[in-house]
Chains A and B, each alone.
Chain A
Amino acid sequence: MKSLRRDFSSDPQTANVTSKIFVRSTKSGKVQKIVRELYLRQDIPCSSKLCSVCPTVAPADANGKIAPFVLSEHPAGTTAFPRGHYLVPDTNALLNGMDLFEHTGAFYDVIILQTVLEELKNQSLPLYNRLLALIKTDEKRFYLFFNEFRMETHVRRGPEESINDRNDRAVRAVAKWYTQHLQASSKKGKKEKALPTIVVITDDKDSLRKAKEEDVTALSLSDYVAGLEDSDRLLDMINESREARGAKGARGELFYPEYFTMSKIMTGLRAGTLHQGVFNVSPYNYLEGLVNVAAFDKPLLILGRDNSNRAISGDVVVIEVLPKEQWKSPSTKIVDEEAVTKNDNPDAEDSEAVVTERERKALQEEVRQAHGKSTEGRPQPTAKVVGMIKRNWRQYVGHVDSGSTGSQASAGRRQQTVFVLPMDKRVPKIRVRTRQAAELLGQRILVTIDAWDRDSRYPTGHFIRSLGELETKGAETEALLLEYDVQYKPFPKAVLDCLPSEGHDWRVPATKEDVGWRGRRDLRDLLICSIDPPGCQDIDDALHARPLPNGNFEVGVHIADVSHFVKPNNAMDLEASVRGTTVYLVDKRIDMLPHLLGTDLCSLKPYVERYAFSVLWEMTPNAEVVSTDFTKSVIRSREAFSYEQAQKRIDDSSKKDELTESMRTLLKFSKILRQKRMDAGALNLASPEVRIETDNDEVGDPLTDVKTKAMLATNSLVEEFMLHANITVAAKIYDTFSQTAMLRRHATPPPQNFEELSNQLAKKRDMRIDVSSSRALADSLDQCVDDKNPFFNTLVRILATRCMTSAEYFCAGAHAESEFRHYGLASPIYTHFTSPIRRYADLLVHRQLASAIGYEGEDGRASVEGVMTRNRLEDICRNINNRHRNAQHAGRASIEYYVGQALKARGEKLSANGVDGGIEEDGYVMRVFENGVVVFVPRFGIEGVVRLEDFVLQGDSSLRSVAERRELVVRRESDFDNEEYTLKVSDKGQPDRGMGVELFQRVKVNVSSVKEESGRGAGKRRVRVLILGAQK
């Protein structure tokens, strides 16, 4: 018997056909063998401007043009490669040094292989996206070479060859081919002498060795960087983890348990024994995390470093519930990482245990508490992290822990390991190796986490760049923006190109025959005015009201017609959809739309004609809506008032003009509308907001800039009509787009969210809050009044607000209609329509409404612009919900920072004997812990943690320095009653001289800004709150 195998080698057709085979596992558990055929080509260009052959063969697009060549004729040289060089990095080089490749000082003319790009995509999606962005930019000259499709550079996997080896071989094959190709094809006269070297960057020792054998120039990333200028700084930017792994591989001590295998995780998740959720760390206790999982109503508790097993706040983790005897109650202590672990030495890894004695003690306290009997102290189910679904690591802003640099700080440019304390307290400190420790001290720096291995107690990361000196305005503002992921880079040119070419000279067309007037109603003769905060430039909305002959009134809300200027899917629209919202910081505004639109062309400025989108109602004198009308319009605002000006004008009885009368009508109607809303059960919520007016001069007390927000009747005038317009529009667009309408909902909070607050209220004030409906809640909140303590009600409202879920944008198809409800506003349906200049959602709603009313626009396309697929819309919703939240946090953080700065400035001006006396204010106890309380100071809108040593007992001098206070720690003792929410603080052995505080109590506090002088994070400024005494 004879066997015959067909021989393909003689077939000329087989050389350019090959296939790729892999196994794919589908979600349903099916396993498929996938075969992809690959047709190799010879016309993929090398993209070097030196080449004379490729331009003639490169494939052309539909217009007969070939893609411009990327790689420079005169690539930069280094000492090692004086003739210039092209870089060919392998996947590991990119994984380890993406920050380097993004660096503008070096790394030009880089050939990125398709092989490498695909491998990178599998290993790290964020890095892949960053690399794509790099390839897109022109200035860095990155060229994506499709080596797998080019016949000469395609590499077939040999028998017994691992994928990695094969890919490394592909990289070398490309380098070889480029060298030969350029030699053969470079333009005459350039031969030999000036040809750039092709340099392979790889950290793989085996690959380096093979490259040497094959006569390919190859260097490891660090060797290459060492040959560049400024190498010290660049070397710091190499990913730490991978480099270090080789060095310490053998050292066996593992601090953390291993994660389950993926298959074990999937089995567990499917079987319901494991759960998946986002890991959230408590802001008060870095050792305590919560994970919300779908299976349970309440989040599961994760206590301690062992159980959180290398998870960092924000990661998507898989958890396993611990046995019941390990259930604990949540901590009643404030645990600050800096304080507990300040003595850790970043280098001394050998001796360290995962849980230090001190940490263990901190945990023991909690175990003890777990055995309490009240609802508060009842043990809660705890869990431990057993797997990682997705790391959500980002870049973190922080500063170098001065303690960790120690004596070495002066040791010059030697590489050393330091700790970086992230600004976000929920993120553990990051171990960073750097050669510039000395320079980085006292700087705000940006670092990233590379890895957290089982044998390392803290995550390792590397330095990216410095933002500037700590506490300088520029550095701190940038830090804020980075921390909250605010897009603050200037608008790119492509976006600015979308602006009207007339610039500031743009005018509403004079003749009504112009296309701009098509479908617009002329409302220029209406007496429209706008009411906004003082100094407002981006005026979104304006109002009018006028009596009708039939005794009813016409009321109009006019919104800036942004959708006229921002056309769907152009660069400006995409940029706006990414930014999602304008971010307001104390001294800075990060716009969603370019300045020209936001503050001029769209802004409904007074005295000029502007395009608007108007909602017009006919209302009876009792504010019953008779009919509603939506129209695009042209308006001319008569006046732009600030809230105060408007209030004065209304109150001024001497004014009898029509504009004032119309404002009075509006005010009257707004009061009726408000009452109706309240009757329906709308909540009057409170947030601890202060406003900062920065236009004050330098003299006097800087703190006068800090103002609590005053609520005038005119504020609520505007607010009511905006709400009313939003609700009206929401109903209209939902009517037209039942699946894709862009709406906003506020989910009814689950009653258990209020459990703690209602316990506290019942205990301390004998008050009840009823959470059965928003109406009931609103009523019961109204009952929570303390005659002696006028702020008490606001405090309860603040706390109640925190128990609720946050409102979110959604697209109508995503929820059942019964779920559309906006809980806080007690409205069955709601959207955002009134601020298109600063919110992207409103812009979308404008388009949908225009489409719904059949407005065609200048080019007749407006009627289809509002139509969108649900998928795309859901993506947008996810993004803007996220941006919205970040913008709020950034704004708050900015105010907090400003308050701190104001306190500091005041302290410097008014300090006595070099010690900042601080300022005395009223504060309210918001939370009671075992070793401190959280006090809310309404005057500055800040919450301060007051530790035991910060209680000023009788006989203490309040002007003690931080260092002196610290010594007090050991002497202080506390008596904490978890069920009564009281804390009694005294010096040891002197219980009679103690001070007791309890929840909701009004206390006298001293607020000052102090700089840490020793220990952890020296140079870091914080607001210190001292409790001086109780006020009844």
Chain B
Amino acid sequence: MNLTLKIWRQSNSESKGKMVKYNISEISPDMSFLEMMDALNNQLIKKGDDPVAFDHDCREGICGMCSMFIDGEAHGPDRLTTTCQLHMRKFKDGQTITIEPFRANAFPVIKDLVVDRSAFDRVQQAGGFISINTSGNTQDANSIPIEKDDADRAFDAATCIGCGACVASCKNASAMLFVSAKVSQYSLLPQGKVEATDRVRNMVKQMDQEGFGNCTNTGACEVECPKGISLENIARMNREYLSTLLKS
């Protein structure tokens, strides 16, 4: 395959960026998108140019490190897929592909396609946990039976990989899907109910402080989420938040 790539280049957080055009040939349809980027970078290094910086690590669709806004979609045109699991067979020979970073006020660009998503960590630090000691002196794991359905739904919420595709896809750059996935995981489990009130209040407060936008229920986040995190989680978090307000 021969492709034309239009890629966002920005040397650091201070500098202004711009789109730059590259041609690349001999791309196999069996390559992953990131392997295509590797090929481009090898080409650039050979010529003595600066390779394109992008985040990636596990290349198995689970670490959440890869990002990229490809042809107007977070993680590209395929559904339920991270960029690292996207394969070139989804593109056509001769196609032009536009590649940008995940854009949001809360995700400043570090270099080229690399953005700073540490705001997500800070939201988790504000309450994304159950306050128990790690001494191992807890009750036996089977002492609290949990309905299979609840356990399965908690698991579904917990599969969020924290990549930020939801934020990048939202016209308001809202982080509601991300935050609600964590809130839901714990609120569906008996262990998490004890501090549910504080958790949702603190996490939402931090989310607002980080500069994420408001949710206007467009549902774009759900469509682009590589793990299929459901909008139901947002509804559940809204209920939790409302009941917190009523209690206080």
Partners in one complex: no
Binding site for A on B (CB under 8 A): none
Interface residues of A (CB under 8 A from B): none
